Amino acid sequence: MCVEDRISNLPDHIRCHILSFLPIQEAVRTSIISTKWRNLFASISTVDFDTYLLCGLTDRNVDSFKNFVDRLLKFPNQLSLDCFRLRGDEFDSWNDGDYDFDVSGWICAAVCRGVKEIDLFLDNFCHTLPDLLFTCHSLLTLTLTAKYSKIFEVPSEVCLRNLKTLCITNSVLVGDSLNRLISNCHVLEDLTFDECSVANAREINIQIPSLKSLYLDFFFPTGALNYVVVINAPNLVYFRYDSVIVEGCSLSNMKSLEKADICIWFDSSNYETSATHLFQGICNVRSLRLNIHEVIPLASRIPIFHNLVEFEFYGRESWLVEFLHFAPNLKTLTVKFQDVAGTRWNIGVPSCLSLHLKKIEISDYATYMIEIVRYLLDNSMVLEKLIIRVDAMTPTQENKARNQLLPLLKSSKKCLIVIL
């Protein structure tokens, strides 16, 4: 019985699109199917190399691998690239020192082919990135992971006029280079610095009208906190800050902000002022996740969070008691306490409890939190659901907690209490 080969009869551009979903070695193997497939892999729009391809390479076939990559990227009259990706992990990377790969040449070849997305894992990389990368007008997405590398030296001429997503991980960011890069990405919408450190900077200046999502996760060597973070992003919708509080923090014109995820700890004498400025900058947010490792005195400088309706809190009980007074319209509260110090919850009921709070969830419940639960039930006039999570307890502790909470379940008529 003869089976018709319909795939081989498809137009070249469709078969190339199919090949782009295969691992590169599988795409190459299709060249033995027939003459129609012989060189088709060289025209795929996604070039994706993983360091597992380097396993078992000998001196003899390293040169063959280099020639293959050169041919794939630099062959004349090839189609434009949608994506060029070099994957890696903590054990293997595209380190020029080990194999003398022409990674910079590969990047330049991708840029010359009008690449739209570049994703590079370059741990232990010995060189800086080629200047040509920073003037790539076709580039829409740039992702860099560069632990133990010194690649982040941005040239004097930068123009990434169509770049919409920039993600940099495990890199040392030099102040002048960083600001020069940010200021020349005029249509950037998504900016991420994940587990990066900053060197030789007085100010990190992020003023991008088009920015919609911003994630800052910095770690700092000793003495590297003496600079200011300035953010002016009128269209920012999501903001995540996971870092030590720096010397100064100025957030302005963030009226579009809907969600913020803030994790802060303190390592400077000026932390109260900087943290206060941070809160003032995000006060328009509707949904806030806050992980705070110290207690900031809530003086009059803390703004009222009029728009806040969802609040997820990880920290000290005493700070939450006070903060609820600054969130008058809160509807949903999720808490996980760092410690419970026996704060007197019965002093001054926040208006959100009386008027708006409908759902509360307490994670990692312990029996000494029973007074908190009673206070919330007694003062939350419109509460519809209280979820108490005891799943982190031992069976004995969980039994004790359920017996402790049972009278509350029986006495609560308006609120549904769920123990998980």
Each residue's pLDDT tens digit, 17-37: 666 666 666 666 666 566 666
Cα–Cα dist 243/266, whole Å:
9
Task: Determine the average pLDDT of the residues in 256-280.
Answer: 80
* H helix runs in 193-261, sequence order: none
Residues 6+ apart with CB under 8 A from 243: 216, 217, 218, 219, 220, 263, 264
Residue 177 binned pLDDT confidence (cut-offs 50, 70, 90):
confident
Consecutive H or E run containing 95: none
pLDDT, the chain, mean: 82
- Cβ neighbour number for residue 342 with a 10 Å cutoff: 11
- DSSP annotation of 413 reads S
Minimum mean pLDDT range among 266-280, 330-344, 370-384: 266-280
Q: What are phi and psi of 387, to 5 degrees?
A: -105, 125
What stretches of 365-415 adopt beta strand conformation (E)? 385-388
Instruction: Map out the domains of the chain as residue ranges.
Output: 7-44, 304-419
pLDDT for residue 261? 96
Give the pLDDT confidence score for residue 257 in this predicted structure.
95
Question: Hunting for tokens 């913020």 — which residue is that?
Answer: 260
| Confidence band, pLDDT 50/70/90 cuts, at residue 262 | very high
**pLDDT confidence of residue 304:** 93
Average pLDDT over every residue of 61-78: 74
Comparing 157 with 149, the larger pLDDT belongs to 157
Q: What is the pLDDT of residues 104-154, one digit of tens each?
A: 888 999 999 899 999 998 877 767 888 999 999 999 999 998 876 666 678
Q: For residue 405, give the amino acid letter.
A: L
Cβ atoms of 237 and 218 within 8 Å: the answer is no
Tokens of 198: 């900053």
- Round to whole Å and give the CA distance between 351 and 82: 53
> pLDDT at position 222, please?
45
Q: What is the pLDDT of residue 186?
A: 93
What confidence tier does 317 reach under pLDDT thresholds 50, 70, 90? confident
Query: For the segment 192-250, what is each residue's pLDDT rounded down to a tens digit?
Result: 999 888 777 788 899 999 999 999 987 765 446 667 889 999 999 999 998 876 667 78
Is residue 314 pLDDT above 80, yes or no? yes
Asked which of 112-121, 187-196, 305-314, 347-356 is least confident by mean pLDDT, the reply is: 347-356
